[in-house]
Structure 1
Amino acid sequence: MQIKDVLLASGSGAFFYDDQAAIRAGASQDGFIYLGEPVTPGYTSIRVPASSLSIGLVLVDDTVVWGDMMSVQYSGAGGRDPLFDIKQISDLTSRVIVPRLLDVDASLYLDAHAKIFQPFERERLPLALEYGVSQALLRAAAYLRRATMAEVLCAEFDLPLPTCPVPIYCQSGDAREVNVDKMILKAVDVLPHGLINSRQKFGTGGQTFMEFVRWVAARTREIGRPGYQPVLHFDVYGWIGQEIGLDPQRIADFVCKIADTVPGFTLNIESPADFGSTQAQIENYAKIVSILDNRTSNARIVVDERCNTLEDIRLFAEAKGAHLVQIKTPDVGSIADTARAVLICKANNVGAYVGGSCTETDLSAKASVHVSVATQADMMLAKPGMGVDEALSIVGNEQNRLLAILNRRAAKNAG
């Protein structure tokens, strides 16, 4: 078999793990830290430096290919896996995954994937583990086939080789104004996220948020190049529902009111409310989507919380429970399931956004580019970290390099 050894190396993610429940309950910020006690199991403080675990597959010619495991910023929230524990994941990988890796044909990606990710003790493996190992497997298959990771995925899922770039979405973190200016000057496709994750940032009745939306639109007109027309995308972490209540009609009215203040822009509102369970989220988001569609609003609803796994994504897509589904890569698990999620969204005429988290790494971000381009997702997140420049460079440059290779392949095939 092509894998003869496995290496593990602890590392760091590009941001921090945050206890969302504690922040929603009103934890105040002191500089970069949050004050108060954590409430979500596993957290020793409200904000914890993100950790990661790299897995390296040593191939027969001593080439080593890597993948990175980690969880998302708001681990343990919205039905997600608990906070990432390097020691626990490392132990499970060594005991269970390594023997499986040494016994597969690494050139057959989906076949190896199916064998390695069998349940352990009747439980699904941690999704962070699936995510990292699947990246390493994809790189191994690409190396052995002398192809890009995108080409491996296209072959495995019987997809045509892509030639078009996927729009890139940047997130601002708390440095909103400065980072919005960076995004506009670099003409990113979708901006700015905004990190509207507290009552202070949302404001009474949403007033602070609405002012920020109007400012972003005005700033785009003011300093953007002629003809620049980005999609405006704001993540409000359920605060519309928390502030005005959980009635779908009222939420839809509020979203329309915001959209009306920025005519000419497509407006994405991510996580307008948290209805407490996946089923309730699907039913109520579908109502909001229907109301907006009937009004031909320029606003679109994006689902994140309560839509984690491939099966969750299938349920939301089939129910039209969003205009756009965030496929949050560490929460979905394997890269193969991210590909499947995009294809499910497309089959149901729902937008597919390959997202992820600021807590990821350069390796996981690059793997996400390949699955996004291979499946022609509707947009993908610039990651990791909360800085615009680094994430846009990593994701944007990887996409451009990939498309250069694919275009050369297409030209040779045409010749």
Structure 2
Amino acid sequence: MHIKDVLLARGNGAFFYDDQAAIRAGAALDGFIYVGEPITPGFKSLRVPASSLSVGLVLADDIVVWGDTMGVQYAGAGGRDPLFDPNEISDVTSRVVAPRLFDVDASRFLDSCANVLYPVEHQRLPLAVEYGVSQALLRAAAHLQRKTMAEIICAEFGLQLPTCRVPIYCQSGDSREINVDKMILKAVDVLPHGLINSRQKFGVAGQTFMEFVKWVAARTRQIGRPGYHPLLHFDVYGWIGEEIGLEPQSIADFICKVADTVPDFTLNIESPADFGSTQAQIENYARLVSILDDRGSSARIVVDERCNTLEDIRLFAEAKAAHLIQIKTPDVGSLADTARAVLLCKENKVGAYVGGSCTETDLSAQASVHISVATQADMMLAKPGMGVDEAFSIVGNEQNRLLAVLNRRRARNENVG
């Protein structure tokens, strides 16, 4: 059950790392690049090709299981870890993590995570390291026990084997109209994200954004198959607060106004404002939730920025400071903590959305599916990349394969019983 060796392999993330502060300050797009001087520490240009580092664990039978480390698109923003540096991650993994890996029983996922991913001199390991190494450890336990990764999570957290699929949420990137059409034709559960990350896309008093919301709803009715009725989810990257102001009452008024334009749809608004700190975010988001609930609005508040780690998620969930919490997997760190985060949200009757970033890889996306299905999250992100087709295929197919295996396991167990 021991690990014989650790391999490292450089790789690519599926999109780019972007300087959010510079974009928010008005950096202009020139083709696919942003023009201007970087603001966020670590960025040498405003848009950097996403990189990754794969961590391979060589098991006793010489099978190699892998996990991928990487950062998120808007690294260094909203309290997140700085820009991903593969050299630094390689050094930490080789120098600190690898020696610990040789001493664990790789068949026991939670114990392995606890024995490998603990801090160094009271300093937590880079979250990218936690994320990638925990993926590899989960795959190791699954291989050694001849189970799926989801079954390992269910067994170690005392959960029933799931029977239901988790709704999938796709993101459009900047090719909004074309990708919305793709999502509708493929009957995606939740759409379209929209990438409303600049004043130009949000518009004066939010008018451009409102027109886009109405267009998405109309387009769904126009080209969607009969009975198709997705949940509408828009990420506005704090622009309601930037444009309307940081008074919760005014933000809630605007959100209700948007919801009234699409009365037949449930509307999720992600990151309506950034109040500058985790505590301020909690207090003001809780106020937003309360106002919308008191009005009986169908709109729901989704938190992302300043809700990164498991502890952050606990604080938001206990304060009811969102209707739905994005559990942004690379920012949470260990996949064990992603599973804990979903269960914590459920305990507090807050929605759990297993998200992540377009900068991830096929391996990290597939591992996230197993966590989402095992814990029965409310929805999960189609990732990686911004192209819709690839991400929806990777996540959707992995979920369908997993449920097919679990259904067979269940049938066999019932026959034995």
- TM-score normalised according to structure 2 size: 0.99
For 2:68, the equivalent position in structure 1 comes to 68
Paired letter, 2:337: D
Structure 2 residue 345 is the aligned partner of structure 1 residue 357:
no
Q: CA deviation at 1:313?
A: 0.2
Paired letter, 2:70: M
Aligned to 1:314, the other structure's residue is in SS state helix
Matches of 2:240 and 2:149, distance apart in 1: 39
Q: CA deviation at 1:121?
A: 2.2
Paired letter, 1:239: W
Aligned to 2:241, the other structure's residue is in SS state helix
Paired letter, 1:141: A
For 1:99, the equivalent position in structure 2 comes to 99
Structure 2 residue 377 is the aligned partner of structure 1 residue 342:
no
Paired letter, 2:310: L
Q: CA deviation at 1:323?
A: 0.1
Aligned to 1:15, the other structure's residue is in SS state strand
Q: CA deviation at 1:118?
A: 1.2
Structure 2 residue 14 is the aligned partner of structure 1 residue 14:
yes
Q: Trace 1:253-292 onto structure 2 (pairs within 5 A).
A: 253-292=253-292
For 1:116, the equivalent position in structure 2 comes to 116
Matches of 1:320 and 1:219, distance apart in 2: 33
For 2:165, the equivalent position in structure 1 comes to 165
Paired letter, 2:345: C
Q: CA deviation at 1:400?
A: 0.1
For 1:388, the equivalent position in structure 2 comes to 388
Q: CA deviation at 1:264?
A: 1.1
Q: Which runs of 4+ in 1 moved over 6 A?
A: none
1:364-400 per-position Cα deviation (integer Å, ceiling 9, x unaligned): 0000000000000000000000000000000000000
1:72-92 per-position Cα deviation (integer Å, ceiling 9, x unaligned): 000000000000000011011
1:125-159 per-position Cα deviation (integer Å, ceiling 9, x unaligned): 00010000000000000000000000000001000
1:271-320 per-position Cα deviation (integer Å, ceiling 9, x unaligned): 00000000000000000000100111110000000000000000000000
For 1:369, the equivalent position in structure 2 comes to 369
Structure 2 residue 245 is the aligned partner of structure 1 residue 248:
no
Matches of 1:118 and 1:380, distance apart in 2: 27
For 1:212, the equivalent position in structure 2 comes to 212
Structure 2 residue 89 is the aligned partner of structure 1 residue 89:
yes
What are structure 1's unaligned runs of at least 5 residues?
Answer: none
Structure 2 residue 310 is the aligned partner of structure 1 residue 310:
yes
Q: CA deviation at 1:265?
A: 0.3
For 2:296, the equivalent position in structure 1 comes to 296
Matches of 1:260 and 1:383, distance apart in 2: 30
For 2:135, the equivalent position in structure 1 comes to 135
Q: CA deviation at 1:212?
A: 0.1
1:76-123 per-position Cα deviation (integer Å, ceiling 9, x unaligned): 000000000000110110001000001100001111110101111220
For 1:324, the equivalent position in structure 2 comes to 324
Q: Which moved more, 1:114-123 or 1:377-386?
A: 114-123
For 1:32, the equivalent position in structure 2 comes to 32
Matches of 1:225 and 1:33, distance apart in 2: 36
Matches of 2:109 and 2:369, distance apart in 1: 17
1:310-354 per-position Cα deviation (integer Å, ceiling 9, x unaligned): 000000000000000000000000000000000000000000000
Aligned to 1:66, the other structure's residue is in SS state strand
Paired letter, 1:214: K
Matches of 2:285 and 2:313, distance apart in 1: 13
- TM-score normalised according to structure 1 size: 1.00
Aligned to 2:289, the other structure's residue is in SS state helix
Aligned to 2:211, the other structure's residue is in SS state helix
Aligned to 1:110, the other structure's residue is in SS state helix
Matches of 2:305 and 2:325, distance apart in 1: 10
Matches of 1:224 and 1:88, distance apart in 2: 47
Matches of 2:368 and 2:58, distance apart in 1: 22
Structure 2 residue 4 is the aligned partner of structure 1 residue 4:
yes
Aligned to 2:40, the other structure's residue is in SS state coil
Paired letter, 2:88: Q
Matches of 1:30 and 1:163, distance apart in 2: 47
Paired letter, 2:262: V
Matches of 1:325 and 1:359, distance apart in 2: 20
Matches of 2:111 and 2:128, distance apart in 1: 20
Aligned to 2:17, the other structure's residue is in SS state strand
For 2:125, the equivalent position in structure 1 comes to 125
Q: Trace 1:176-215 onto structure 2 (pairs within 5 A).
A: 176-215=176-215
Paired letter, 2:324: L
What are structure 2's unaligned runs of at least 5 residues?
Answer: none
1:8-64 per-position Cα deviation (integer Å, ceiling 9, x unaligned): 001010000000000000000100000011010000100000000000000111100
Q: CA RMSD in A?
A: 0.4
Aligned to 1:48, the other structure's residue is in SS state strand
Aligned to 1:280, the other structure's residue is in SS state helix
Paired letter, 2:156: E
Matches of 2:109 and 2:233, distance apart in 1: 34
Q: CA deviation at 1:2?
A: 1.9
